[in-house]
Structure 1
Amino acid sequence: MPRSRRRWPAGLRRAIQVLAALFLLAPLPAYAVSDDVILADTPPRQLSAFGFFDDLAAQKPAEGVIPFRLNTPLFSDGALKDRFVYLPAGKAAAHDATEAFDFPVGSALIKTFSFPADYREPDKDIRRIETRVLLRHADGWQAWAYLWNSEQTDAALKIAGATVPVSTVTAGGTPLDFAYSVPNKNQCKACHALDNAIVPLGPKARNLNGPFPYASGEENQLAHWAAAGILAGAPPPAEAPAVPDWRDETAPLDARARAWLDVNCAHCHRAEGPASNSGLFLTFGEKDPVRYGVRKRPVAAGKGAGANEFDILPGEPDDSILVYRVRSVEPGVMMPELGRHLADPDAVALLRAWIAAMDD
């Protein structure tokens, strides 16, 4: 006996056909950022759980995650860095003229550290080492580090830190092998400390006031953030402070050196920072030459002073403690004391030129 054929109402059949067509033709939705994961009491074990990226391996950000750069970045053993910011829908950070912006609860700052196989071709054969996230909770910021797997498909939470061997070739063609350190939880706190609280370091107006090559075209970052609705109260970029790219040889030598010190040293060496008892204050806006080291004797540098008497001796870079410590890689001497195993020869050259040009 033939089976009877079930007949659907014409209207329902048409609706099913339309839905099927839409499902087949429409692109799959982007991977959405999880606000719940950001605000959870404990961080996820895998970086991918946040949903910050549509393509994690390629560092292609998800909708609402905005890439950014800093005019002068922190030196981290020469690591290449991809930076991103995420704010909850409808929320904006409050502009601050001197400090990091005040981000709303639910915000995230994401930074991935990578090394190329050869710095002469820095866009090829990239190996991602770690991704650090800062998560804004109601009771403050939480800092976490994620270590990338060997397959370069995801990164795992690493509370205790890690040491990773890195092999690369310098821009000058010299092979370079060293041990890169992924910070532990306490080391994150040590650098990101201000008035006994964890704070972001990079996203300040003066270091964001510059262009970025967005998919829609190059645009000033402060203007882009304001237009995107994620930054409130910002003046026009022309009226906002700005530090130069320290590598830009067309910028004033003093501004380049002060920008490098501001980013690499001033998170500790400021009146509110962990190194306040040194009396050495290296923020970009510091006006008193003695306070930023000129003919200033150290308070308690120990072996970090070497045979030198002053933090900065005008005209004499090789007799200045500042240069001595920045070019050192010896524990207990080198500055910054965390976040690097290598010295940056270009930064040392810049600081030497700056001090050499000072009038006695």
Structure 2
Amino acid sequence: MKRRYIIVISLLAISTLLATFSFITRPGDEFQFHENLSAYKFFEGALRNLQPAEGVIPYDLNTPLFSNYAEKLRFIKLPQGKKAAYQEKEIFDLPVGTILIKNFYYYNDFRKPEKGRKIIETRLLAHRHDGWATYQYIWNEEQTEAVFEPIGDAIIVSYIDNKGKKITAPYVIPNQNQCKGCHAQGNTLLPIGLAARHLNGDYQYSDGKQNQLKYWSQHNMIDLPNSAVPANANWQDKKFSLEERARAYLDINCGFCHNEKGPANTSGLFLDIHNNSPIALGINKTPVAAGRGSGDMQFDIVPGNPTKSILIYRMTSNDPGIAMPEIGREQVHKEGVALISEWIRKMK
């Protein structure tokens, strides 16, 4: 009986391993999986410098997704001779073979970036013939390599913030299923930030500052329309109105799930930039089924009163059963909370 039990366990382990490898490598895929990040040759020179190789293009978002105060360096690699297809509202239609590369790091001292940084993880989002797939790579202490780790990890990060305070905080590197929790639209995985409104802004390239989408167009990465291209506000730039900054923040941090097609569509709370319904935005709207996530409050947003608004209650919680977003953060984004609180406070 014991021997039979061992055989069953072994067969289960083998089948799991085979399933994993069939997920990683499939004949005909333009994406070829590697165990080590360095093997992709995305970067030239010392890996820790993240100096992009030819064809690996850096990009940024007008308002980025908050991730525990981590800084990010993002890159896109399109297959040779292929372009992204422009869409006004939706994520660009990116060709099979596209790889998105996102590196998460902390400066040792945010007041003095020249003191160095520690890269925590690199996430790849690869467009395969069977759809998008995620791959997580965890960096070693020596900062010489990052190794594929599908089950993720939970670590402690330490750094000095921009006010000179030493921060020690938990940081969760998601597993592949958790990645789906953020990137899924129905049964399909999609990138989050690769839309016109997020990319239509300036980037400081090695040869000077330029609008990202114009740069992409000039380098045959996309064909732009003759009409105006939408652009979200930079949530920190006060040349934009409070309304524009708050809506841009909610759009990138909440709107991918909270929209008519997203996984949170049954909530009736739509925080994407395209929603113009006050009720769907949460104003004087009762939650569908928030449970203890409501904090015994009545409305998602109470105009003029952020402390009575469920939205703020969930943004300021680290309780896994209450916090929003549900995954992807272990720290409260104080500056983001302050922005949305001010927006609600000034509502009439």
Structure-2 residue corresponding to 1:50: 40
- Which of 257, 272, 285 pairs up with 1:283? 272
Structure-2 residue corresponding to 1:117: 108
Structure-2 residue corresponding to 1:314: 303
Contact 1:38 1:106 in 2 (8 A): no
- Which of 137, 141, 144 pairs up with 1:150? 141
Separation in 1, partners of 2:326, 2:346 = 27
Structure-2 residue corresponding to 1:304: 293
Unmatched runs of 5 consecutive residues or more in structure 1: 1-35
Structure-1 residue corresponding to 2:90: 99
Structure-1 residue corresponding to 2:166: 175
Separation in 2, partners of 1:38, 1:266 = 34
Change (3 A) 1:39 1:249: same
Structure-1 residue corresponding to 2:229: 240
Contact 1:37 1:44 in 2 (8 A): no
Separation in 1, partners of 2:30, 2:144 = 23
Change (3 A) 1:227 1:318: same
Separation in 2, partners of 1:143, 1:125 = 28
More deviation in 39-48 or 222-231?
A: 39-48
- Name the aligned partner's letter for residue 303 of structure 2: P
Over the residues paired in the alignment, what is the CA RMSD in angstroms? 1.6
- Name the aligned partner's letter for residue 70 of structure 1: L
Unmatched runs of 5 consecutive residues or more in structure 2: 1-25
- Name the aligned partner's letter for residue 321 of structure 1: I
SS in 2 for 1:298: coil
Structure-1 residue corresponding to 2:12: none
Separation in 2, partners of 1:230, 1:204 = 14
- Name the aligned partner's letter for residue 348 of structure 1: V
Task: State the 1:38 CA deviation.
Answer: 11
Change (3 A) 1:41 1:349: closer
Task: State the 1:123 CA deviation.
Answer: 4.5
Structure-2 residue corresponding to 1:67: 58
Contact 1:303 1:333 in 2 (8 A): yes
- Name the aligned partner's letter for residue 196 of structure 1: N
- Name the aligned partner's letter for residue 52 of structure 1: F
Structure-2 residue corresponding to 1:162: 153
Separation in 2, partners of 1:124, 1:91 = 39
1:1-360 aligned at under 5 Å gives the runs 39=29, 43-55=33-45, 56-232=47-223, 234-235=224-225, 239-359=228-348
Separation in 1, partners of 2:337, 2:302 = 15
- Name the aligned partner's letter for residue 126 of structure 1: R
1:276-300 deviations in whole A, cap 9, x for unaligned?
1111011111110110101100000
Q: Which has the larger radius of gyration?
A: 1
SS in 2 for 1:103: coil
Task: State the 1:42 CA deviation.
Answer: 6.8
TM-score normalised per structure 2: 0.90
Pairs aligned (count)? 322
- Name the aligned partner's letter for residue 169 of structure 2: F
Contact 1:38 1:135 in 2 (8 A): no
1:313-332 deviations in whole A, cap 9, x for unaligned?
00111100001111111111
TM-score normalised per structure 1: 0.87
Separation in 2, partners of 1:58, 1:127 = 11
SS in 2 for 1:91: coil
Change (3 A) 1:54 1:99: same
Structure-2 residue corresponding to 1:8: none
Structure-2 residue corresponding to 1:18: none
User: Kindly, what percent of the aligned residue pairs are identical?
Assistant: 45
Change (3 A) 1:160 1:309: same
Separation in 1, partners of 2:27, 2:141 = 25
Change (3 A) 1:285 1:166: same
